[in-house]
Structure 1
Amino acid sequence: MMPPIAVIGTGIAGLSAAQVLHAAGQSIELFDKSRGSGGRMASKRSEAGSLDLGAQYFTARDRRFVEVVQQWQTRGWVTQWQPSLYNAQDGQLSTSPDEQVRWVGIPHMSAITHAMLDTLPARFNCRITEVFRGDRYWNLLDADGNSYGPYSQVIIAIPAPQATSLLAAAPKLAGAAASVAMEPTWSVALGFNSALDTRVEGCFVQDSSLDWLARNHSKPGRNKQLDTWVLHASSAWSRQHLDLSGEAVIEQLHGAFAELIGCAVPPPSFTLAHRWLYARPAQSHQWGALADADLGLYACGDWCLSGRVEGAWLSGQEAARRLLEHLQ
């Protein structure tokens, strides 16, 4: 009997691939360095309830992804979010004409990956640092020196800079992953005891330290005890202030938010900062997924395509398709 397939990373890409393999009758084992699934779709539990600090929403354009999102909606994992949307430029707020359909997980973004994971075997708090091949099969090594294996194939579904070293056995794939630049994002949550006097529920920001802000509790199914807001700094600002303390980041972005929102902003009763080192790829690629089928090593993620949630899901599908094709 052939050993199972290892999937490293339980964000949308890794779980998309795992679902296809599981449906095809393959035995799989998942690994993730975090405490739970989701990757950049993860929500953070806090005293202000669950907060979407990473992906704020997602869109569906590809026919295959549109179909799967409709299934998720039927199962109650996602719903549409229709925020009162604004643009901010040169400090001026204007309503946004954007009519894009936006989807969010219920009651938080990570609900989607929790549901996708379901009963698949996963090992969390386990950071894989090496993927190496024996005579026939693969083995994995974690940061604590534990080894896992054997595995017949390995799918690496983590951000490109982290995937690069795990792809060392396939220099061509490692080179492709190493060529991908990923942008950082500082994310800040603010909570206010009484609701701010503004109609804004989502806002795209230009020419500022901020890139985006959202009224978290305007999303369906969210905790409404506090008026919670999530602010995303721009990639350029985040890159320049990568090593700033969380407190300093909160102070600066809170200041920018107060200037922009057009109403009185009291001191927040709750604050939280999170740094996404690899928030999004700097540009799109058309790889679909990376594969060395003869070796049995694959890589997938949003960075193989569009940098969006949809791209991550499609990339996972492609990695699994190529793997299964090779097994036939």
Structure 2
Amino acid sequence: MTVPIAIIGAGIAGLSAAGALVAAGQRVHVFEKSKGPGGRMASKRSDAGSLDLGAQYFTARDRRFVAQLQQWQAQGCVGEWTPTLYQSRGGQLSPSPDEQTRWVGVPRMSALTRAMIDDFPAVYSCRVTEVFRGKHYWHLLDAEGASHGPFSHVVCAVPAPQAAALLSAAPKLAAVAAGVKMDPTWAVALGFDMPLDTRLQGCFVQDSPLDWLARDRSKPGRESDLDTWVLHATSEWSRQHIDLSREAVVEHLHGAFAELIGCAVPAPSFSLAHRWLYARPASSHEWGALADADLGLYICGDWCLSGRVEGAWLSGQEAARRLLEHLE
């Protein structure tokens, strides 16, 4: 019986790597600290329906990712989102000239990672705290003190600061990951009993605490009795207010939203806030993936490439490719 490969992180990158490895005849075992797969593709189930609080949409440019997108289309778990798109500068709204094709998971963003998880063995609500080497194989220690293993290789698919903390067994890899700065984002969802009087369905924002806002129920497959909106604060504002209470974050960003939307905005009947500590890399890299092939340790994630959903998927593919290459 072959010893399986451990995948830490069940976001797009980790599941991309897992899928490529399984397709090549390898066994994998996935570990995820959240209750389910998704990472920043995860959707929040709430009283206002399911809300995309992380990744808002994705684009497809690389031919390999386009092929994956076509598979998802065939499975019915992705749809094109064609929002009435605006931009806001200095408080002035104008139609956005951005015409790129945008895709979303259907009926929620997490549908993609649900489709990718397939029937891989996976452990959820399991936060891995240490990766250590036994006599011949790798083992993982979790926050409860339980040990998992043995594993022939480890693919670490988590944000750079978390990867750096896990990989003390590979100081060079850990040092590269530790040098990557990742920006936080406060996300707020608001629900209104009556639809707001605006055509706007998505907006890129400048000169505001807000960076982006979207009418969540304008996306295909979303159903809600409320007019639901998702607001993302800028990295700078999020960093400055990183420890603010959720209530205060909702109040601040609701106020910024009301200022720029160009119509009357009542008090929401529903609100929630979510803090993404590692929402996106501060700068893009061209690593593809990071590896210490001799040790059998690999790192992937959107931060190894563009920071986009496509970058995360491609990074997972690259980690798997390097691992399989080393096995030959």
TM-score class normalised by the smaller sequence: over 0.9
Amino acid at match of 2:131: V
Q: C-alpha displacement at 1:81, in angstroms?
A: 0.1
Q: C-alpha displacement at 1:261, in angstroms?
A: 0.4
**In structure 1, how many angstroms separate the alpha carbons of the residues matched to 2:267 and 2:69?**
39
Instruction: Determine the structure 2 residue equivalent to 1:243.
Output: 243
Secondary structure of the 2:115 match is helix
Q: Structure 1 residues 295-304 or 69-78, which shifts more?
A: 69-78
Matched, 1:134 2:134: yes
Q: Alignment RMSD, CA only?
A: 0.6
Instruction: Determine the structure 2 residue equivalent to 1:54.
Output: 54
Q: Deviations over 1:17-74 (max 9, x none)?
A: 0000111111110000000100000000001000000000000111111111111112
Q: Is the 8 A contact 2:287 2:305 kept in 1?
A: yes
Q: C-alpha displacement at 1:2, in angstroms?
A: 3.1
Instruction: Determine the structure 2 residue equivalent to 1:95.
Output: 95
**1:1-328 superposed matches below 5 A:** 1-328=1-328
Secondary structure of the 2:164 match is helix
Runs of 4+ deviating beyond 2 Å: none
**In structure 2, how many angstroms separate the alpha carbons of the residues matched to 1:256 and 1:107?**
29
Q: Structure 1: where are the runs of 5+ without partners?
A: none
Amino acid at match of 1:269: S
Q: C-alpha displacement at 1:12, in angstroms?
A: 0.2
Q: Structure 1 residues 104-113 or 166-175, which shifts more?
A: 166-175
Amino acid at match of 1:252: H
**In structure 1, how many angstroms separate the alpha carbons of the residues matched to 2:235 and 2:297?**
31
Q: Structure 2: where are the runs of 5+ without partners?
A: none
Amino acid at match of 2:204: F
Q: Deviations over 1:129-172 (max 9, x none)?
A: 00000111000000010000010000000000001011111111
Secondary structure of the 2:323 match is helix
Q: C-alpha displacement at 1:179, in angstroms?
A: 0.5
Q: Is the 8 A contact 2:10 2:32 kept in 1?
A: yes
**In structure 2, how many angstroms separate the alpha carbons of the residues matched to 1:93 and 1:181?**
32
**In structure 2, how many angstroms separate the alpha carbons of the residues matched to 1:66 and 1:2?**
33
Secondary structure of the 2:285 match is coil
Secondary structure of the 1:268 match is coil
Identity rate, percent: 74
Secondary structure of the 2:271 match is strand
**In structure 2, how many angstroms separate the alpha carbons of the residues matched to 1:305 and 1:275?**
23
**In structure 2, how many angstroms separate the alpha carbons of the residues matched to 1:141 and 1:32?**
13
Q: Structure 1 residues 11-20 or 113-122, which shifts more?
A: 113-122
Secondary structure of the 2:232 match is strand
Q: C-alpha displacement at 1:224, in angstroms?
A: 3.1
Q: Is the 8 A contact 2:2 2:27 kept in 1?
A: no
**In structure 2, how many angstroms separate the alpha carbons of the residues matched to 1:110 and 1:118?**
13
Secondary structure of the 2:183 match is strand
**In structure 1, how many angstroms separate the alpha carbons of the residues matched to 2:43 and 2:312?**
17
Secondary structure of the 1:232 match is strand
**In structure 1, how many angstroms separate the alpha carbons of the residues matched to 2:177 and 2:2?**
28
- Could you tell me the TM-score, scaled by structure 1's length? 0.99
